[in-house]
Amino acid sequence: MPLNPNVRIEPATLDDLPRLVDLTMALFDMEEDFNPNREKQERGLRCILEQPNRGRIFVLRTDYEIIGMINIQFTISTAMGGFALLLEDVIIHPDYRNNNYGTQLLEYVIKFAKRKDFLRITLLTDKISAESQRFFQKLGFQHSHMIPMRLTFDV
């Protein structure tokens, strides 16, 4: 399904930062592992926007507002022998869900990855959200035998 002509996908800019923070706050409010923190979310998003060699943030934009976003970070996979993407922060504003926008945003990133010769996209999704898992599986993502573990430092 093509995008609504009034909606487009494009790279985010620093001017978009307040709305991106709002979206990530809403996302982290839904997740068990994270607590929303406006200062931390802004700092993290700014790290990507100010250093495009670290990754990209793509937004789904109307003429008036950002209605969704996806964050990709660049890494290297020794297993794959080349560059890979870590997919984070996929969110569509609740008022715009169920319009195929999430699928189109993710398909845009998959095409970006293929065009730029990335070898893999890795993502973490909520273990308890069957809906989220089905969404990613529909687009070709598969469960891994790897399990995430984390060590967090408060700075």
If phi over 0 gives left and psi between -120 and 50 gives alpha, with beta otherwise, what is residue 117?
left
Answer yes or no: is 122 within a domain: yes
Provide the pLDDT for residue 128. Answer: 57
Provide the pLDDT for residue 45. Answer: 96
Three-class secondary structure of residue 146 per DSSP: coil
Answer yes or no: is 83 within a domain: yes
Provide the pLDDT for residue 28. Answer: 80
Provide the pLDDT for residue 144. Answer: 83
First to last CA, the chain: 44
**What DSSP assignment string belongs to 73-142?**
EEEEETTTTEEEEEEEEEEE-GGGTTSSHHHHHHHHHHHHHHHTT---EEE---TT-HHHHHHHHHTT--
Provide the pLDDT for residue 27. Answer: 82
CA distance 72 to 37: 20
CA distance 118 to 102: 21
Question: Dihedral sign, CA of 72, 74, 78, 82?
Answer: positive
Provide the pLDDT for residue 36. Answer: 80
The total domain count for the chain is 1
CATH number of residue 71's parent domain: 3.40.630.30
Answer yes or no: is 82 within a domain: yes
For the entire predicted model, the pTM comes to 0.87
Which domain does 12 fall in, by range? 8-138
Each residue's pLDDT expressed in tens, for the chain with a length of 155 residues: 566 768 899 999 999 999 999 999 888 877 666 778 899 999 999 999 999 999 999 999 988 899 999 999 999 999 999 999 999 888 999 889 888 999 999 999 999 999 999 999 998 776 657 777 888 888 888 888 887 777 778 76
Answer yes or no: is 153 within a domain: no
Which of these, 17, 15, 67, lies nearest to 46 by C-alpha position?
A: 17
